[in-house]
Each structure stands twice: as structure tokens, then as C-alpha cells.
Amino acid sequence: MARAAEAVRRALAQAESPLLSLRRDAIPGFVELLGRARRLFDTDGSVRDDASPALRDARAALRRRRAEVSRRLGRILEDRRDFVGDAVVVLRNDRYCLPVLATARSRVPGIVHDRSGSGQTVFVEPLEVIEANNELALLAGQERREVESLLAAFGSEVLAVAGDLEEAVEQMAALDALEAKVEFGEAAGGRIVELSADGGWTLSSARHPLLDPKLASVRGRALGETRPARPIVPLELDLPADRRLLAVSGPNAGGKTVVLKTAGLFSLMAQAGLPLPCGPGTRVPVFRAVRAEIGDAQEILAGRSTFSSSMETLSAILAQAGPGMLALIDEIGGSTDPEEGSALAIAFLEEYLSRGGRAIVTTHFSALKNFAAARPDSISAAMEFDEESGRPNYRLHPGLSGRSRAISVAREQGLPEKVLARAREILGEAWRRREEQEAEAEAALARLRGSERELEREREEARRETEKLGRERERRAAEHAKMLEEGLAGFERARRDLERRVEREIEAIRREASRRAEASAEKVLERAEAALPAEPVIEEAREEVLARTRELAAGERARVHGTRTEGVVLSLDHESAWLDVSGKRMRFARTQLEPSGAGPPRKRGPAHPAGKLRAPLRPEPVTAATLEVNVIGRRVEDALPEIEKSLDAALLAGATHLRVVHGHGTGRLREAVREHFREHPAVASLRAADPRDGGNGATLLELK
């Protein structure tokens, strides 16, 4: 038990639940006791040799003496093999002996300790080993006394923690009960229900554990049940707190007793903290005691009939009646004359209810049904019956009085129609009229249930239609968004394709002669303008770039357009130029540069075959005049370096703002640009451009 308690403590130490931590702390610890046990006992439960120095020495001496005795007996066996029955050493009366043939007993001097069952062999302790056996006996006694001393000391330690062991047993039993509750709840798909403070009683989809198909495997393990699981009709019950009596009526085998047992059992299970096999909304009251009178309690030998036993039980229930008491009574007042039984049942219930108790009873008595229907603190309920099939439906309907339907049940069980007709004749006209009235009430109830089912069906259809319309709206919205996205993506692809075609044609033109190159470039630009008339980048490239790029040559001074930054041109090609600016070698896009000095550009021949060409259609790098870089249509990995280069040039030119034109598109490029420059060391802040400057299609960077 101590070992089990420590194992449970270790397991609970790994749990993160505060409640389980409290459970762990409530279990006493036995670390010292278990450590002592490990030092004292071996894995097989025997006392270890090293449990004490005295025991170690005693057992070592025993082993040496046994080895010596074994050697002596072995020599005797070799010398007198003809007189020995079996060549083995045996132990008789804790002394080592030799099996000697009875006919040769005198040939082996010694003490006879025993005889074999056949009488052919005697077990002789030879004289040569008597003294050795005596020493063995003394050593064995010494070893035994030492073991007894160790066990007595350990027993005292166990007795000292007996209270802790008992507490550990109780705590682990409580944990076992909690685990059983959890396993039961998982098997039943149960839930912890509400304990109603006002005494109201609501059962939703309640399933008796002995009938619930989900618990068939549990019943098989616990009760040996072998019958196959069958579907059941869950119980629905709503009993307000002011209704202290529920009288259930209906046909035999219609489920009246199951209602009574389920209600009582659920209250007890809930108060025990067990999950209940039921639906949401279930709540049960708390009772200080539950008393039941269910089944046949007759005792033939004691001279007690079913009725007398029932009356004895009802007397005991009435004696304990009071607030917080629940009585479950099946077929109250039965097993006797119906009139007398009805009178006794009504009188009992009047007195019981006057004392403050609550009760659920089943009955076939019309007088008792009327009694329950007439009282404001009581309610009558009927079990549903299917007239077409002649079988009960096991559904409870509060507010109705159920018919016993004895004749219908008798017909279902095969009683001849002649007998049934005679029974109706005996019952008379009053019974027939009452049956017709109850049948009309049940038919009205059936129509009401049909209307409720139809209304529920219409509600379900409306719900499904609403969900369908919602899904259709979501689908159309998704399609619309997809069309917009695909349209914008298609436009961007077309624009990028056009830019690539323009660049390829311009590159081809540069390889031609100067005269043809200029004319061809003008035609290409005209086609680009016709294809994208709204793009300001092409117009600016056409008007501004041509005037600047023709005048550059190596060795001359050049200025960054729109700034005061200038230097000596070291080298240049179609795309870029290297300048010596104050002793620093810097690279600029050729379209950023213009000849240094005031006045119009000088007329001179081009320094490069492409000097007379118009600028290629590329996003315009930033200048102090425009403070803008256009990266529309670029991939993120291409656009960010281009913007970085333009940012460096803007900082060098002393600019305070840079506008990045990235377009709307899918928004991916915009978000990438803003995410990249939001924490940039050279950027103080950023925001979307003003509506007149592109709105959310451009980002304005404020430079530090």
C-alpha cells in the first residue's frame, strides 16, 4: 500500500490541476518507510543478506558449514555407494542425511531420521556429520533470530505509520471512485448536470443506465449481460418545484416504472457526483433521503402477502416524510380491492404531501388519476400508446391521464377475441364512453404532436434554406473577389508583358545605326503611348530623358538632375555611369545625370552609339524634382533593391520625402514595401499618398 501511495503521489505531481495537487498533498508520504523496506527485503520478499552485519556474518558462516557438510557426505557416498539407494543428499528434520537401503542400515552407522513410503530406504545421518549438523543448527538458529529481530523492528516502523496508511487507503479509494466516475461518464457520453436550487426537475434525453445502449459493454463486464443492445426512447420530463406529486398512468409494460426509477436514480447519481447519460438542460433537485416501494415483497414463510408488505413499507415511508424527502411508489394501493386500494392511496398521499414530501407514483386507478389532476401541487402524466400497432411508445405526456389499455394488451398477447368482447360487455356503457373520451383526447394530442412535428420540419427546412442562401452569398462574394483579383492580375501581366516587349525592341534598336535607332525608338514609344495612354512614366521618359542622355561623355563634369551633387564622369554605358564625387566613386543611373553648368545643353555628337536613343522604359529613379520611384509590375525581390537605390540617391540629394508608386494590384507589393521600410533606419515614417498623388497605390516615405 505504501508503494502504491507513493506511485500515485508521483503521478499526481505531474498533473497541472490545482484540485489534483490538493489530492496529492492529502496522501501521506512513505519515502523513508519504503527506503527501509528496500534495504531490508529483496525483490522476492526475502530478507537481504546485507540487512545487518550480524545477518551477513551468520549467513556466510551457514554457507561455509553447508559446503563442508556436503563435501563430507559426498565422500561417504563414494565410499559406500553399494549401500546407498540414491546418490543424493537429503534434508530430514533440518539435518543432512543419506538415503540408505533398509537391508544395509547397519553398514552406515548413524541416526535414522525417517523411512521412505515403500520402506525400502531409511534416511540416516552418518556419525561423521552429526557434529557438523549440530553446528549448522546453531548457525541457523542464530540467523533466524537475527531475521526475526529485523522483521520486528520493521513491523514497529509500520505500526508507527498505521494511521497514515489508513489515510492513504481512504484517499486512494476516493481517487478510484473519481476515476470510475470519469470512465462511466466517458462510456455513457454523460454530463455533470445542474443541481437545481429551486427544486425544479428537468430531464432531457435521459437514459436509464441499465437500458442505455451506450453502456451495453459496461453492463457486460460488470453484470455479465449478454443480450444485444436495443434502441430506447429517452425520457423527457419537466416537473416544476411547486408540483410535488407526479402520478404516472398508462398501459402495462408502457414504461411507467422506468420513468419512476430513472427520475430517482438520476437524483442519487447527481448527488454522488456521477455524470448522467442525458442531454443538455438536465437539472435535478437535492433530497436528503429517497425511499422506494417497488416490486413484489411478499414472504410466504413469514405469512406476509404482497399487499401487507407494501403497506408496511408505506408506513415506514410516511413515518419519515418531510421536506427533502422523495418517495418512489410503484402501483400504489395495488394487490387489493381497487376501491379500497384507491382510497388508501389517496389518503396516504394527502398525508404524505401535507408533511412536505415529494413523490412519484404509478397507478391504474382512475380515482388516483383524478386526485392528481385536481390538486394544484400535483400533476398527472400518461405514457403514450400506439393504437395501430397495439404497443406503447414509451413517451411521457404531462397533463393527461393514461388508460391502462388492458384489453389492447391482452389482444396483443393472444387472448381470444370472444373473451375480449365479453370483457367489454361486462365493463358496460360507462367504460365505453370513458374510453371514447380518452381516445378523443389522445387523438387531439396526436394531432397536436403532428402539428408540432410539421412546424419543426418547416423550421428545419427554413434553417437549411437560410444556410443554403448564406453559402450561396459567400460563394458569389468569393467568385466576385476572385474575378477582381484575376482581372487585376491579368492587367498587371499585360502591362508587364508590354514593358518587356518595349524594352526588348529598344535594346534591339540600340544595336542598329544611330539614324535608324532614333526613328525606330520614336515609333516604339508611340506604340507604347497608344497602348498605355494613362501611364505618366512613358511621357516623362520621352520628354525628359532624351534631352539629358545625349550630352554625357567620359571626362566631363555631370550633375545629378535637380540637385547640387556633381562630379567627373569616369565611365558610362547604356544604363548607368560612374562619377567621381568629392573623391568618392559613385554609380548613378544614366537617366539621373545631366551636363554640369547653366544654360541649354551643348550640341555635340553622342559619346556612345546609343547616345541619340530615347531612354528605355524603366521605372524613373528618384530625383529632387519628382521625389518618386515607380515599381508598378515589378516582383517584390526586384522592386525593393530599386527603391533602396532610389532612397540612397534621395538622401544624397538632401530630399526629405520619397514617393514610391507601386499600384493597387493584389496589394502584395504594397504590403511588402511598407513592411520593409517601416523599420528602415533612414525612414522616419511612411503613409499612403494623398488621393491626388495616387492614394493607396503609392506610399510616401518621410526621410530622416
pLDDT tens track for 402-434: 666 666 666 666 778 777 777 777 767 766 676
pLDDT tens track for 236-273: 888 898 999 999 988 777 788 889 999 999 999 999 98
Higher pLDDT, 561 or 363: 363
Helix (H) / strand (E) element for 10: namely: helix 2-13
- What is the average per-residue pLDDT within 113-137? 84
pLDDT of residue 586: 75
Higher pLDDT, 622 or 245: 245
For residue 463, how many C-alpha atoms fall within 13 Å in the half-sphere facing its CB?
Answer: 6
pLDDT tens track for 143-157: 899 999 999 999 998
Average pLDDT score, the chain: 79
pLDDT of residue 549: 57
Higher pLDDT, 183 or 426: 183
Cell of 460: 428545419
- What is the average per-residue pLDDT within 608-637? 55
pLDDT tens track for 289-344: 999 988 655 454 444 567 788 888 888 999 999 999 999 998 888 877 788 888 98
- Paired strand residues for 558: 567, 595
**DSSP string covering 637-648:** HHHHHHHHHHHH
- What is the average per-residue pLDDT within 67-87? 76
Q: pTM, whole model, 2 decimals? A: 0.51
Of 41-50, 185-194, 257-266, 527-536, the one with minimum mean pLDDT is 527-536
Q: What is the rounded CA–CA span in Å between residue 702 and residue 196?
A: 66
pLDDT of residue 595: 81
Confidence of residue 625 (pLDDT cuts 50, 70, 90): very low
Q: What is the rounded CA–CA span in Å between residue 632 and residue 427?
A: 98
Q: What is the rounded CA–CA span in Å between residue 131 and residue 538?
A: 126
pLDDT of residue 410: 67
pLDDT of residue 82: 67
Helix (H) / strand (E) element for 630: namely: strand 628-630
Amino acid found at 295: G
pLDDT of residue 306: 75
pLDDT of residue 407: 65
- Paired strand residues for 375: none
Confidence of residue 358 (pLDDT cuts 50, 70, 90): very high
pLDDT tens track for 542-561: 455 555 556 677 788 888 76
pLDDT of residue 198: 84
Of 7-11, 406-410, 586-590, 627-631, the one with minimum mean pLDDT is 406-410
pLDDT of residue 551: 67
Most distant pair of Cα atoms in the chain: their distance: 151
Whether 597 has a pLDDT exceeding 90, the answer reads no
pLDDT tens track for 198-212: 888 999 999 999 888
pLDDT tens track for 219-233: 888 888 888 878 888
Q: How far is CA 508 from CA 85, 224, 343, 496, 531, in A?
A: 121, 94, 117, 18, 20
Question: What is the strand order of the sheet 90-92 is part of?
Answer: 90-92, 95-101, 121-126, 110-115
pLDDT of residue 290: 92
Percent with pLDDT over 70 in the chain: 80
Torsion of CA 609, 610, 611, 616, to 10 degrees: 180
Three-state secondary structure string covering 138-183: HHHHHHHHHHHHHHHHHHHHHHHCHHHHHHHHHHHHHHHHHHHHHH
Confidence of residue 626 (pLDDT cuts 50, 70, 90): very low
Of 76-85, 90-99, 571-580, 664-673, the one with minimum mean pLDDT is 76-85
pLDDT of residue 434: 67
Whether 131 has a pLDDT exceeding 50, the answer reads yes
Confidence of residue 600 (pLDDT cuts 50, 70, 90): very low
Q: Are β-strands 325-329 and 110-115 bridged in parallel, bridged antiparallel, or unpaired?
A: unpaired
